[in-house]
């Protein structure tokens, strides 16, 4: 297999606050291959956005990357100088934020923002950059781009603005796109359009995509693989079909078990598992999920589970530790109550 | 956009009308105009004749209408004290005040903006912190103290700069300027600095806090995520957005520099409108006071209109406000 576009190893991100050091990301590892879409899911505060920011080098003080490696096309980028990292941003990694209404500078025409970005990363002349900007707008499906390029952001609808944002992220044909909840702020009717646009662009350009979302429907339809995050760690990661249909981690089971009810519910969000994720300042020792886990036994509150390869999944849960003879017993014993707990 | 401008103009006219009415009321309620002119020992008959001659016996609306019509033609009445047309008095004093105020405003704006941007960008730098602390002194120190302090250092001790007056001025038509002579320029330094000081620190602190606010917005983050260099982010993306809220307050501040140069003019014995106003208050010279009030009102109204225009230039959302934005 060829080298992955993005390779993250044991990433740690901390925030230094008055109340001490908060470990927002604590040992996260994953790869994204060329043309692959990695879906990232998890409760609010699980660390999805912080992971994306760390990859693109936008963790601001008091936050800092406290350990681990980020490699882009084999090259380490987490230790680059600020100036070198700036040249990676936008050129090799594109980013799409959640809210297109606030992502664009309201005082400049979309064309000015596109041309500025293109000229930052290429040697194109003004005319050349403008031509490229029009091509990009056409590519992301904005009608009459020769005219719209001179419009201001407030003259575009939310969906159209998100298309502009995507065009901006694509300016320099990046190898990797990080899309952080790109449809959350949009009308339901345009969400699907934006997702299929992203999917199409990723396929056509062979771009690797890290897609953060709360929408399991989008994950199931778009992602090749999915990572389930909990308390700054990856609980489970694997091919989308396996993780969605046969999740292994009790938290992932809860998350996916909630999907059928999603279909009927008007709101396409995840149904919460009983209890809530611990605050960063109060992450329990051992497995951070154990206070909510119906399978938990004494080991879970003591040992931190390392990711274990199990079939095509990688799962951070003692239940799947082949070396622990007691693990199997806990699984069988408490299987049924979990399903009930989730449904209620 | 036309509607926006029209609204601004109508507002300006209404404000001026209200100010004129207050100025007009001063004649009735502040002091006794007859007594001010003829003094204590005039006979009752003299007083009545004068009252009729001045039109003080007419009904109030008639008097106000006459007052407005005269004021619009530049006739602001006669000074009780000096017996000369108020308009002429103001005209003599105007250049001194305008020169002082415009230079102060320019200084406050340029230095305030520069320092505000600098302290925002270098938020944790040593120099930025020193500037911020110093500015705290600036906002809390009364203007006259700064003026007196400067006089003590540069006039009394060092003997570099004159402590009062405009120095030699050059006449250009009806305008007089101190900028063309050495002594005129020297005389300007301390009053300009004194008058600018408070506005400068205020503008600087305002620009800094707005800029920090803008630096936290999503579009600045997105610009950084696109690899736009910091310099461009600071001076293109952030500064212009900072200016939108800063413009209003800055406009008002600059208005008050022109309008309320009173303290500075008094401290430096500056022959401007503020000093004229102080003199006329002391002798209850109502026509001069009323004219000064209207002048202040006019300055604020004009500054406000200019502020609205700058808004239009800065923010495209206002320009197309009439055309409903597509959502
Ligand atoms: N600047 C910061 N200072 C302190 N803590 C922070 C900061 N930014 C993020 N965090 C913490 O890091 C953790 C992860 O946040 P993150 O934004 O990555 O969550 P998320 O998974 O993206 O959630 P959401 O679904 O709400 O977007 C949270 O507990 C958050 O409180
Ligand atoms: Mg997030």
Q: Which atom, in ligand 1's list, is nearest to the CA of A232? A: 14
Judge whether residue A269 has pLDDT over 50.
no
Q: A155 with A106, same domain? A: yes
Last residue of a domain, one of A229, A257, A273: A229
Tell me if A315 sits within 8 A of A29, measured CB to CB. no
CB B67 within 8 A of CB B17: no
Tell me the nearest-neighbour CA distance from B112 into chain A, angstroms.
23
The whole-number pLDDT of residue B71 equals 84
Confidence of residue B40 (pLDDT cuts 50, 70, 90): low
B34, B36, B37, B40: CA torsion to nearest 10: 80
- Please report the atom of ligand 1 found closest to the CA of residue A48: 21
Q: Other CB atoms closer than 10 Å to residue A80's CB: what's the count?
A: 16
Residue A28 CA, ligand 1 centroid: distance in Å: 15
> A13 and A104, same structural domain?
yes
Is B315 in contact with A106 (Cβ distance < 8 A)? yes
pLDDT value at residue B79? 81
Same domain, A265 and A221: no
Contacts of B212 (CB under 8 A, 6+ apart): B120, B123
Residue closest via CA to ligand 1's atom 6 equals: A15
pLDDT in tens, A284-327: 888 999 888 888 888 888 889 999 888 889 999 988 888 888 87
CA distance A136 to chain B (A): 15
Percent of chain B with pLDDT over 90: 16
- pLDDT at residue number B42: 72
Give pLDDT, residue A262.
40
Report the residue among A16, A17, A25, A46 best suited for mutation to probe ligand 1: largest number of ligand atoms under 8 A from its CB. A46
A150 and A211, same domain (yes or no): yes
Say whether both A184 and A260 belong to one domain. no
The confidence score (pLDDT) of residue A55 equals: 95
> Tell me, what's the pLDDT at B304?
86
A167 and A67 in a single domain? The answer is yes
CATH code of A150's domain = 3.40.50.300
The predicted structure's pLDDT at residue B221: 93
Q: What is the mean pLDDT of chain B?
A: 84
The answer on A186 and A213 residing in a single domain is yes
Mutate to test the interface with A, among B225, B244, B310, B311 (most CBs of A within 10 A): B225
Domain range for A330: 247-340
**pLDDT of res. A268:** 44
For chains A and B, what is the number of CB pairs under 8 angstroms? 87
| DSSP letters spanning A322-339 | TT-TTHHHHHHHTHHHHH
B115, B203, B247 from B209: Cα distances, Å:
12, 10, 14
Are A202 and A304 found together in one domain? no
List the single residue in A89, A116, A121 with the smallest CB-CB distance to B224: A89
| pLDDT at residue number B39 | 66
Q: How far apart are CA A275 and CA A58, in angstroms?
A: 31
Whose alpha carbon is nearest atom 29 of ligand 1? A45
Give me the residues paired with residue A236 across strands: A228, A315
Q: Quote the CATH superfamily of domain B86-285.
A: MetI-like (1.10.3720.10)
Classify residue A202: in a domain, yes or no: yes
Q: At CB < 8 Å, which residues of chain B contact A? A: 217-219, 221-230, 232, 236-237, 240-241, 244, 314-317, 320, 325-327
Pick the most confident of A61-70, A112-121, B47-56. Answer: A112-121
Report yes or no on A305 lying in a domain: yes
Name the pTM for this structure.
0.81
User: Which pLDDT score, from 0 to 100, does residue A239 have?
Assistant: 95
Mean pLDDT confidence for A30-34: 94
Neighbours of ion ligand 2 (CB under 5 A): A 49
Q: Give the mean pLDDT of A230-248.
A: 92
- Domain positions in chain B: 86-285
Residue A185 within a domain: yes
Residue A53 lies in a domain: yes
Q: Is residue A313 assigned to a domain?
A: yes
pLDDT exceeds cutoff 60 at A270? no
A17 belongs to a structural domain: yes
Distances in Å between the alpha carbon of B169 and those of B56, B182, B183? 41, 10, 8
Q: Is A267 found in the same domain as A186?
A: no
Question: Does residue A337 surpass a pLDDT of 60?
Answer: no
Q: Do A86 and B316 touch (CB under 8 A)?
A: no
Q: Is the pLDDT reported for residue B325 higher than 60?
A: no
User: What is the reported pLDDT for B213?
Assistant: 92
Residue corresponding to tokens 């934006």 = A194
pLDDT higher than 80, residue B57? no
pLDDT in tens, A48-70: 999 999 999 999 888 999 999 99
Of B51 and A54, which is predicted with more confidence?
A54
The total of structural domains in chain A comes to 2
DSSP single-letter state for residue B151 = I
Average pLDDT rounded to a whole number, residues B268-289: 87
- The predicted-structure confidence for A123-157, as pLDDT tens digits, reads as follows 999 999 999 999 999 999 999 999 999 999 999 99
Q: Residue A110's pLDDT is what?
A: 95
Q: How far is B303 from chain A (nearest CA, A)?
A: 23
A215 plus A254 within the same structural domain: no
**B144: pLDDT confidence band, cut at 50, 70 and 90?**
confident
Residue A259 clears pLDDT 60, i.e. is over it: no
Q: How far is B251 from chain A (nearest CA, A)?
A: 20
Asked if A89 and B226 come within 8 Å (Cβ–Cβ), the reply is yes
Whether A44 and A98 map to the same domain: the answer is yes
Cross-chain residue pair B327–A168, CB shorter than 8 Å? no
Tell me, what's the ipTM? 0.87
Q: Read off the pLDDT of residues A203-216 as tens digits, 9 standing for 90 and up.
A: 899 999 999 998 88
DSSP string, A72-123: ETTEE-TTS-HHHHHHHBTTTEEEE-S-HHHHS-TTS-HHHHHHHHHHHHS-
In a domain, A293, yes or no: yes
Q: Is residue A235 in some structural domain?
A: no
Task: Report chain B residues whose CB lies below 8 A from the CB of A104.
Answer: 219, 222
Nearest to B228 among A88, A120, A158 (CB): A120
Decide if pLDDT at A342 tops 60. Answer: no
Question: Is-contact A187 A268, C-beta < 8 A?
Answer: no
CB contact at 8 A, A167 and A179: no
Q: Are residues A173 and A54 in the same domain?
A: yes
Question: Which has the minimum average pLDDT: A193-202, A326-335, B189-198, B270-279?
Answer: A326-335
Confidence of residue A332 (pLDDT cuts 50, 70, 90): low
């Amino acid at each position: 297999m060829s080298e992955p576009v993005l390779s993250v190893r044991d990433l740690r991100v901390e925030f230094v606050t008055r109340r001490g050091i908060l470990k927002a990301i604590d040992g996260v590892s994953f790869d994204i291959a060329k043309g692959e879409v990695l879906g990232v899911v998890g409760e609010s505060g699980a660390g999805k956005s912080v992971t994306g920011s760390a990859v693109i080098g936008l963790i601001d003080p008091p936050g800092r990357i406290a350990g681990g490696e980020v490699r882009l096309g084999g090259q380490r980028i987490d230790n680059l100088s600020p100036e070198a990292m700036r040249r990676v941003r936008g050129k090799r990694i594109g980013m799409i934020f959640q809210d297109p209404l606030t992502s664009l500078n309201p005082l400049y025409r979309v064309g000015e923002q596109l041309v500025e970005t293109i000229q930052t990363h290429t040697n194109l002349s003004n005319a050349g950059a403008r031509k490229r900007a029009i091509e990009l707008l056409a590519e992301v499906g904005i009608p009459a781009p020769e005219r719209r390029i001179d419009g201001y952001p407030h003259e575009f609808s939310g969906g159209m603005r998100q298309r502009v944002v995507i065009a901006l992220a694509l300016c320099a044909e990046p190898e990797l796109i990080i899309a952080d909840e790109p449809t959350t702020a949009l009308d339901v009717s345009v969400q699907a359009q934006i997702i299929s646009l992203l999917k199409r662009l990723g396929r056509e350009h062979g771009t690797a995509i890290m897609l953060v979302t709360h929408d399991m429907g989008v994950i199931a339809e778009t992602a090749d693989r999915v990572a389930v995050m909990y308390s700054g760690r990856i609980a489970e990661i694997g091919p989308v079909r396996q993780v969605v249909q046969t999740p292994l981690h009790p938290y992932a089971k809860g998350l996916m078990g909630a999907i059928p009810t999603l279909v009927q519910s008007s709101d396409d969000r995840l149904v919460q598992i009983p209890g809530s994720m611990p605050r960063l300042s109060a992450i329990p020792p051992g497995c951070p999920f154990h206070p909510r886990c119906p399978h938990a036994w004494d080991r879970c509150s003591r040992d931190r589970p390392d990711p274990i390869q199990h079939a095509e999944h990688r799962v951070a849960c003692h239940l799947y530790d082949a070396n622990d003879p007691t693990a199997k017993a806990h699984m069988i014993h408490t299987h049924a109550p979990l399903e009930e707990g989730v449904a209620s | 956009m036309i509607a926006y401008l029209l609204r601004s103009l109508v507002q300006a006219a209404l404000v001026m009308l209200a100010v004129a009415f207050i100025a007009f009321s001063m004649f009735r309620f502040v002091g006794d105009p007859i007594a001010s002119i003829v003094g204590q020992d005039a006979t009752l008959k003299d007083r009545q004749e004068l009252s009729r001659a001045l039109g003080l016996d007419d009904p109030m609306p008639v008097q106000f209408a006459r007052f407005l019509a005269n004021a619009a033609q530049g006739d602001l009445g006669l000074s009780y004290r000096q017996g000369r047309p108020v308009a002429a008095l103001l005209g003599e004093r105007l250049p001194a005040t305008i020169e002082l105020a415009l230079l102060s405003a320019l200084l406050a704006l340029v230095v305030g903006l520069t320092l505000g941007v600098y302290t925002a960008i270098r938020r944790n730098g040593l120099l930025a912190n020193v500037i911020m602390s110093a500015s705290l002194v600036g906002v809390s120190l009364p203007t006259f103290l700064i003026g007196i302090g400067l006089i003590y250092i540069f006039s009394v001790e060092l003997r570099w700069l004159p402590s009062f007056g405009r120095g030699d001025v050059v006449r250009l038509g009806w305008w007089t300027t101190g900028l063309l002579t050495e002594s005129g320029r020297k005389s300007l330094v301390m009053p300009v600095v004194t008058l600018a000081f408070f506005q400068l620190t205020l503008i600087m602190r305002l620009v800094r806090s707005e800029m920090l606010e803008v630096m936290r917005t999503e579009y600045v983050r997105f610009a950084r995520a696109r690899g736009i260099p910091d310099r461009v982010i600071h001076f293109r993306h952030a500064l212009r957005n900072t200016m939108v809220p800063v413009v209003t307050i800055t406009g008002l501040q600059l208005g008050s520099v022109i309008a309320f140069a009173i303290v500075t003019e008094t401290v430096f014995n500056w022959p401007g409108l503020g000093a004229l106003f102080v003199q006329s208050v002391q002798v209850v010279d109502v026509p001069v006071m009323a004219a000064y009030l209207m002048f202040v009102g006019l300055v604020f109204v004009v500054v406000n209109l200019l502020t609205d225009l700058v808004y239009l230039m800065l923010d495209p959302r206002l320009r197309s406000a009439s055309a409903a934005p597509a959502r």
